Amino acid sequence: MTDFGSVRNARLPFFVTEEVSTLSPAASSVSGTASQTLPSAGARFALARPPGSGDAWLISQFVAQARETRRMMLVVSADALDAQRLVDEINYFDPSLVVRPLPDWETLPYDTLSPHQDLVSERLETLYRLSQPQSEIDVLVVSATSALYRLAPSQYVAGHTFFFTQGQTVHAEPLRAQLVFAGYQHVSQVVAPGEFAIRGGLIDLFPMGSALPFRLDLFGDQLDTIRAFDPDTQRGLYPVPEVRLLPGREFPIDEAARQGFRRRWRERIEGDPSRSSVYKDIGIGIASAGIEYYLPLFFDQTATLFDYLPADTIVVLHGPIDAAMARFWNETNERYRFLSRDVTRPIMPPADLFLDAEGFFTRARDYGRISLGEGLHEDFAALPQLSIERRADIPITRLRGFVDKFISEGPGQPHGRVLIVADSAGRRETISQMLTEYQLPFADNADFGAFLASDAKVGLGVAPLHEGFVLHPASLAIVTETELYAASPRRLRGRQRERASNVEAMIRDLAELRVGDPVVHVEHGIGRYLGLQSMDMGSGPTEFLHLEYANETTLYVPVAQLHLIGRYSGADPDAAPLHHLGSGDWDRARRKAAKQVRDTAAELLNLYALRAARKGHPFQFKQHDVEAFAEGFPFEETTDQKAAIEAVLKDMSAGFPMDRLVCGDVGFGKTEVALRAAFAAVADGKQVAVLCPTTLLAEQHMQTFRDRFNDWPVRIAELSRFRSSKE
């Protein structure tokens, strides 16, 4: 029997690699001898790319083996989407690995748009780590096009990084100028990387590459305390001994850098520089949008990604790298030919900004390389057809047949194991209900390691895997939602993390408040928010909300009491009637409102008591039938639309009279909520009536319902003035 607990730490005993002499990742002719070791500098091995997410598993094994000899691995993917998924998938298979992406700028060459600050922050963090003598990065993942971009020299990133430590002497005004020249933006409230705010002796700073901002509290000119704080609530979290401050941009913009930029512009770009707004803006310290595509003018010499890599790095070429690079160069040259005619914004030749494919492979030749290209890997296999048949009596027939066969032991063949993974915890619950309903036993598994360590034959978990695969030597099969819902036209291949919305939220954090906004204090009434202020009340510095009331009276509310502050809901915020502190006006208004609330509450209590005493019909329907009907919806549900559908279906199956109102603007999907509810009712043998305010709308809904129920044995009729008495 196979020891599955050791699979995770296997060191490639079954991978046959061949040394090749060509630099082409798609080489078909190979020579040399088989090897089971990682390639040394200058050597290149070729492997067939495993199917599905098997490539991430294979790379994770390579990285784990390379880490034993303190060698870093660079993965260059032909597809940018593959690069993004490999970061998550490699981490899933081995969470102990340090996996870093070098994200793309996500702008087209020569765009007049600058990259988003979050992307720049992540890039600078990665470049800083690479510039350190002992980088802790195990694997760096980058797309083929990003690998071609010329970069700032490693000395710039390392040399322009400095640290704040507790007890250090800090002068606020020189620091402000230093931060501005480093590329940081002065704001009233810090919420994003690259921002800072100075309020007296408090300095809020969100360093590039940091997950959280920090609050520096000065005592005179001495840095007294440093605390991380939540950018959403602005509340302090925990103290830290020091803060690392990376440069705010991938290029300098101090006086010396600006002079060098203008000098190199005159040397390398033809024409009158005074006609260019980019040239003039740099002269006064303004970085124009799209300035990143003038990066070589900031430095005497730029670097490439290879200049950041240790000499013993192993380079993995994932997919048709040369084709991706050739396509990028063709598109870049076309854009250059088209845009270079603008004399007011002259641009630099592509060769000054990017490596070409030949230059990339020439530099890569110095490193050990592993190519994952076309072909069949004998140790991996793609999964057979496993898609759920929504309208079958047993929708998981294919899955059950595969699982039963795969986990069965045969002559000389140990039993296999199957791990089924969902995209999210919510999807996992749906699949769990389906497997339970159709009696396919499984065990819950928190992660990949937990499954390998268990003795379960079938596991169910959550994983960021885009496609499943079979690993023959380990008798292991991983099944994802891609296989289970392969027929779904709405299934997203690229996953986006959803942000849940809470329609009941009032003021949950200070990011929702702006200076001058009217607010309502539970005890003191309507005032106006004038910002944050730090005061020492004897137990150390404390942050307060500064509220102004009538006659310019002031109230300071500790940030910890933010729950006492509510949003003002009057018609005109600028004309909000401020209450007088201590006058009793607010108490009288509260008592009057409380009496009205009690009267209304009594009426509602009586109404809901009557409703609670009544029993409703608990609709019975199968979840997979609802999902089958949902496949007819040609769009992806929004987060709020999905929440409304789930809430309505939950109410319908609860067994008490429903009391729910679905609100939404025109075109935001209310009809789809009604369609799902109608289907659930019809599936339980009930009739559904849809009331419309106009005849025209009745006609439109009639057509919509007929289209959606076209494949279902449901009769739909319309009752309006367009129909005869007989009809």
Query: Model confidence over 168-183: pLDDT tens digits?
Result: 888 888 888 888 878 8
Burial of 607 (0-12, 13-18, 19+ CB in 10 A): exposed
Instruction: State how beta strands 541-548 and 525-536 pair.
Output: antiparallel
Q: How would residue 433 be classed by pLDDT, with cut points 50, 70 and 90? A: confident
Distance of alpha carbon 225 from the chain centroid? 32
The single-letter code of the amino acid at 625 is D
> What pLDDT score was predicted for residue 511?
55
Q: Which helix (H) or strand (E) holds 262?
A: helix 255-268
Q: Evaluate if residue 488 carries a pLDDT over 70.
A: no
Query: Torsion over CA of 589, 590, 592 and 593, rounded to 10 degrees?
Result: 110
CA 75 – CA 45 distance, rounded (Å): 14
What does the mean pLDDT of the chain come to? 82
User: Does residue 674 have a pLDDT over 80?
Assistant: yes
pTM above 0.85, yes or no: no
Collect all residues with Cβ–Cβ distance below 8 Å to 682 and sequence separation of at least 6.
Answer: 688, 712, 714
**Residue 353 pLDDT:** 92
36-52: pLDDT as tens digits: 478 888 888 888 899 99
At residue 511, the 3 state secondary structure works out as helix
The CA distance from 193 to 205, in Å, is: 8
Q: What does 401-420 look like in DSSP terms, one character per residue?
A: HHHHHHSS-BTTB---EEEE
The answer, yes or no, to whether residue 33 has pLDDT greater than 70, is no
Return phi, psi of residue 131, to 5°: -75, -10
Vertex 155 angle, CA 152 and 159, to 5° = 115
pLDDT at 413 over 80: no
Among candidates 350, 470, 493, 359, which has minimal Cα distance to 419?
470
* Residues in Cβ contact with 506 at an 8 Å cutoff, skipping those fewer than 6 apart: 566, 567
Q: Mean pLDDT lowest for which of 92-101, 127-136, 477-486, 581-590?
A: 581-590
Q: Identify the band that residue 132 occupies on the pLDDT scale cut at 50, 70 and 90.
A: confident
CA dist 501 → 118, 230, 498, 641, 651 (Å): 22, 19, 9, 11, 20
Q: Which amino acid is at 29?
A: S
Q: How far is CA 117 from CA 121, 150, 195, 305, in A?
A: 6, 19, 10, 21
Q: What is the pLDDT of residue 540?
A: 61
pLDDT of residue 632: 79
Most confident of 342-351, 562-571, 606-615: 342-351
CB 253 within 8 A of CB 299: no
**Which region among 464-468, 543-547, 674-678 has the lowest average model confidence (pLDDT)?**
543-547
Tokens of 165: 């430590």
Instruction: Kindly give, in sequence order, each residue whose CB lies less than 8 Å from that of residue 476, ignoring residues fewer than 6 positions away.
Output: 4, 7, 416, 417, 418, 419, 470
Distance of alpha carbon 115 from the chain centroid: 16
Q: Counting Cβ atoms within 10 Å, is residue 59 exposed (0-12), middle (13-18) or buried (19+)?
A: buried
At 725, is the pLDDT very low, low, confident or very high (cuts 50, 70, 90)?
confident
Tokens 């009639």 belong to residue: 702
Average pLDDT of the residues in 450-479: 90
- The pLDDT of residue 571 is 67
The pLDDT, as a whole number, for residue 487 is 53
pLDDT at site 149: 94
> In the structure, what pLDDT confidence band is assigned to residue 512 with cuts at 50, 70 and 90?
low
